[in-house]
Amino acid sequence: MAKPLYRAIDGTQDFFDRDVERFDKVINFAADMFARYGYARIRTPIFEATELFSRSIGAVTDIVEKEMYTFKPGSESITLRPEGTAGTVRAYLQHGLDNQGGLVKLWYDGPMFRRERPQKGRKRQFHQIGVEAIGSADPLLDAEVITMGLRYYESLGIADVGLRLNSIGCRNEDCRPKFRRLLREAIQPNLEKYCKSCQTRFERNVLRIIDCKDENCQRLNQDLPKSYDHLCGECADHFEKVKEGVTALGGAYVVDHSLVRGLDYYARSVFEYTHGSLGAQSAIGGGGRYDGLVEELGGKETPAVGFALGVERILIALEAANACACSYPLQVYGVTQGEAAHRAMAGLLARLRAAGFSADMDYDGKSLKAQMRTANRRQALCCLILGDDELGRGEVTLKRMGEAGGQEAVSLFDSIEAVRKAVSWGV
């Protein structure tokens, strides 16, 4: 095999054939499900002003500090989007969707870019499907969004998706700021025992210490105060209603105080979907409420909630569940011997395709046996076998593959009808 001069960049991926079909199916199922919940589709640019992301996601987050692909082709700094919420809110404001009054529900899919260390389920170019419901603080909306995610995974055939739920409160002085102070007081005496990253987080982003993955830090974290025990009255009430709503809509959850999420725009509800097939990167999706973001980006005070699901991680979970066998089978494979038969088969396949069948043939001059092997590998439902002699008689052999089996000579004139029968048998 020739050695290629170039390889895809680490953390990026080529998708072929069956994987592309699965990928499309994952998106199509989302389109179908989200439309039923009233979401309209939006497509925003892949790059935006760098400041949009540092302002939304937060300057002191892993994403903004070290994972963004940022470049400066002219005087302005631009960044490949690391996520979809910031661009969606930017578009919502730019196009005056805030003036329509009431709730605006938008969904999107597309590639995102983060310079993370690649590993299973963690890519540098990955794809998300996301929803953003902008304009309501109703806890029932959080519950609807959260359970819609669960219904979506179910619809794909992914069972056993876990749901972690937490509330990190709001910006009111007696809510998150107070909790941050309590947390610092509790951590301070042991600060030196924490890992280096946590020590820098202490001043800059103390909440992130709670979800540190280091075993020693996790041990130290065991007795820390929990955010849901220190919410202001309104946030506590909101969280209770979110939990009630999720239960009422058929979702099972675990409240997990260590869930704080890696983006700064969140307020109140945060959640993550997990799946056992993913190993260390167990989050198959995540989201939360971001009540301050629209205002932060220049709009009126507007509550909002949403999530994003990782497509690559959904594909891993599908593979593990052996679910969604959504490969569209090849219906007809043309097998030929002789030049005239080869040409005639090209014409016959063109007629079959025009009649709506999926059909293909060999273009490498392979032997009959090798062509039959290809038909099997491609899981063709039937083969049309044509030699120059048969062509002379105006006939073709139709062979049913798989369990149906059997073959018969049919007139070339009737071959499309014969394929129709064979294919409807085979499916």
Contact set for ligand HAM, span 165-224 (CB under 6 A):
none
Distance CA 362, CA 18 (A): 19
| Cβ closest to ligand HAM, residue 106 vs residue 332 | 106
Query: Is 84 near ligand HAM (CB under 6 A)?
Result: yes
Q: Considering only residues 58, 149, 287, 292, which one is a binding residue for ligand HAM as defined by CB under 6 A?
A: 287
Min dist CB 152 to ligand HAM, Å, is: 13
Q: Does 344 bind ligand HAM (CB under 6 A)?
A: no
One residue of 48, 142, 256, 312 binding ligand HAM per CB under 6 A = 312
**Of 22, 55, 164, 313, which one interacts with ligand HAM (CB under 6 A)?**
313
Q: Binding ligand HAM by CB under 6 A: which of 19, 62, 98, 116?
A: 116
The residue (of 314 and 423) whose beta carbon lies closer to ligand HAM is 314
The encoded tokens of residue 269 equal: 């509800």
* Three-state secondary-structure class, residue 87: helix
Q: Which stretch binds ligand HAM (CB under 6 A): 26-34, 121-129, 163-171, 405-413?
A: 121-129
Query: Would you list the DSSP string of 312-372?
Result: HHHHHHHHHHT----PPPP-EEEEEESHHHHHHHHHHHHHHHHTT--EEE--S---HHHHH
Among 58, 87, 303, 306, binds ligand HAM (CB under 6 A): 306
- Provide the 10 A C-beta neighbour count for residue 71: 11
Placement of tokens 């080529």 in the chain: 14
**Helix, strand and coil percent figures for the chain, each rounded to 5:** 45, 20, 35
Q: Does 268 bind ligand HAM (CB under 6 A)?
A: no
Q: Please state, in angstroms and rounded to a whole number, the distance separating the CA atoms of residues 274 and 326.
A: 23
Q: Are 296 and 281 in contact (CB under 8 A)?
A: no
Give the count of residues interacting with ligand HAM (CB under 6 A). Answer: 27
Closest CA to 140 of 307, 309, 305: 305
Residue of the chain from 168, 206, 217, 284 that contacts ligand HAM (CB under 6 A) = 284
Please tell me whether residue 87 binds ligand HAM under the rule CB under 6 A. no
CB of 197 to ligand HAM, least distance (A): 18
| Token pair 């199922």: residue | 29
| Structure-token pair, residue 374 | 């290809």
Minimum Å gap between C-beta 46 and ligand HAM is 15
Q: Does 132 bind ligand HAM (CB under 6 A)?
A: yes
Contacts of 63 (CB under 8 A, 6+ apart): 53, 57, 82, 83, 114, 262, 263
Q: How far is the CB of 117 from ligand HAM (least distance, A)?
A: 9
Mark residues 381-420: x for contact with ligand HAM by CB under 6 A, - for none. ----------------------------------------
Report, in Å, the least distance between residue 32 CB and ligand HAM: 20
Residue found under tokens 């992130």: 208
Instruction: Provide the 8-state DSSP code for 267.
Output: -
Under the rule (CB under 6 A), what is the footprint of ligand HAM? Answer: 83-85, 114, 116, 121-123, 126, 128, 130, 132, 262-263, 283-288, 290, 306-308, 310, 312-313
